[in-house]
A = this chain, B = another copy of it.
Amino acid sequence: MEAESEFIPDGTVTSPNGFYAGATFAGIKKEGKDNLDLGILFSKVSATAAALFTANKIKAAPIILSQKRIQTERATALIVNSGVANACTSEQGLDDATEMATLTAKSIGVPTEEVLVASTGVIGQRLPMQKVRAGIKQIAHSTDGGHKLARAIMTTDTAPKEAAITVKTDTDKFTIGGIAKGSGMVHPDLSTFLCFLTTDAAIEPDFLRSSLKKTMDISFNMVSIDGDTSTNDMVLIMANGMAENQTIQANNSIADTFQQALDNLCVFLAKSIARDGEGATKLIEVTVSGTLTATEARQAARTITSSPLVKAAIHGNDPNWGRILAAAGRSGIELEETRIDLYLGDICLVKEGRPLPFDQKKAEDILTNTEVRIHLQLNLGTATATAWGCDLAEEYVTINSQYTT
């Protein structure tokens, strides 16, 4: 099938038809730190939904609630706050999350079972429910409210992450939009990752769920490490069918087109998250190729992007490439030192395991860019994977040593 897909200028989670959002400053965050901390996203009509949640054994109250509710494969609305994670808050936390959903359901007139909840912020503190109750009443919803919502979910993020893609085929036209937050980027301690996706396409629930999983593997999971997740991580997609397309399902002609568009959108958001790691000054893109399996390529690429020593060297514009090989060597994958080629941008640093003389000045120039590309070719097989990360700056430590105080 012929299909065209393109990013919409200024696109966001409310770009698809029938989605509304809004946000307010309820006072959950400290005064003066950003202006928004509570927001709502909803669809005009009930939507098919799929979601993935943290693998952490300690799960925040909103995760427990949302995980239960998504089993119906329907979700019409989401309420989300930043500032307090509502994690390690025992039964009280669950009551608070449930009340947030109930109040939201009343406020916008949807069934409470179709409202999901997400939170991000400090663990172990109770939500200031009076402020939350007042806040929910204050939120005004609109079809361009996605921009506000993108800001309301920020914690130490310095910029909102949002985008939307429109897909046109011979017969149909639909849009996918999304917002995300990330920020604490030194592994294995990804701070809360949230991503809310919407589409006006009609999609069969099983396909929606498998499609979301596939996308995660090549996008957000290549920024974070599977399983090393915070107490509050959540990714949600709602499909409300208002584009009136033929319902997308596995094996029908539009399935691949949808998957590709969702992949592109999520890779864009994932890179935005990587670029905005706490204290980060640049995006690092690592491609590992020539491994025996895709799993190995993924594993090596992620080990390299999450190496504090690699990240710190790149921060200092120091072409200390030995740290890249050392990271690959301890990543657990098969490799043969004498087959390895390593590139920094277009400079070949290592050929068949031998260090090549290189222009130090040119290497430092490449490293001063805001996007640094590394390519490790292992020459053992044909698999390949790309991961994203950021440099490690002193600022990261400053931010993280003064978070609750």
In angstroms, how far is the closest chain B Cβ from the Cβ of A377? Answer: 15
A281-334 CB contacts (< 8 Å) to partner B:
303, 306-309, 312-313, 315-323, 325-330, 332-334
Of B123, B303, B330, B334, the residue contacting A323 (CB under 8 A) is B123
Is A58 part of the binding interface, using a Cβ–Cβ cutoff of 8 Å? yes
The answer to whether A326 touches B403, judged by C-beta atoms less than 8 angstroms apart, is no
Q: What band does the interface of chain A fall in when counting residues whose beta carbon is under 8 Å from B?
A: 35 or more
Majority-rule SS of A interface residues:
loop
Q: Which residues of B contact A157 (CB under 8 A)?
A: none
Is A90 part of the binding interface, using a Cβ–Cβ cutoff of 8 Å? yes
Q: Which residues of B contact A335 (CB under 8 A)?
A: 57-58
Cα separation A335 to B357 with both chains bound (whole Å)? 52
Is A398 part of the binding interface, using a Cβ–Cβ cutoff of 8 Å? yes
Is A252 part of the binding interface, using a Cβ–Cβ cutoff of 8 Å? no
Cα separation A303 to B188 with both chains bound (whole Å)? 9
Q: Which residues of B contact A235 (CB under 8 A)?
A: none
The answer to whether B398 touches A58, judged by C-beta atoms less than 8 angstroms apart, is no
The answer to whether A227 touches B318, judged by C-beta atoms less than 8 angstroms apart, is no
Q: Which residues of B contact A392 (CB under 8 A)?
A: 397, 400-401
Q: Known: A318-B402, A330-B229, A397-B397. Is A88-B355 also a contact (CB below 8 A)?
A: yes
Q: Which residues of B contact A322 (CB under 8 A)?
A: 85, 87-88, 122-124, 231
Q: Which residues of B contact A303 (CB under 8 A)?
A: 188
| A positions within 8 Å CB-CB of B | 55-59, 85, 87-90, 122-125, 184, 186-189, 191, 227-231, 303, 306-309, 312-313, 315-323, 325-330, 332-335, 337-338, 350, 353-355, 364, 392-394, 396-398, 400-405
Task: In the A-B complex, list the 10 residue pairs whose CB atoms are closest, starting with the nearest.
Answer: A123-B322, A316-B401, A58-B329, A312-B400, A124-B322, A394-B394, A56-B329, A57-B329, A189-B309, A320-B404
Given contacts A123-B320, A318-B401, A393-B397, 4 further A-B contacts (CB under 8 A): A90-B353, A90-B354, A123-B321, A230-B330
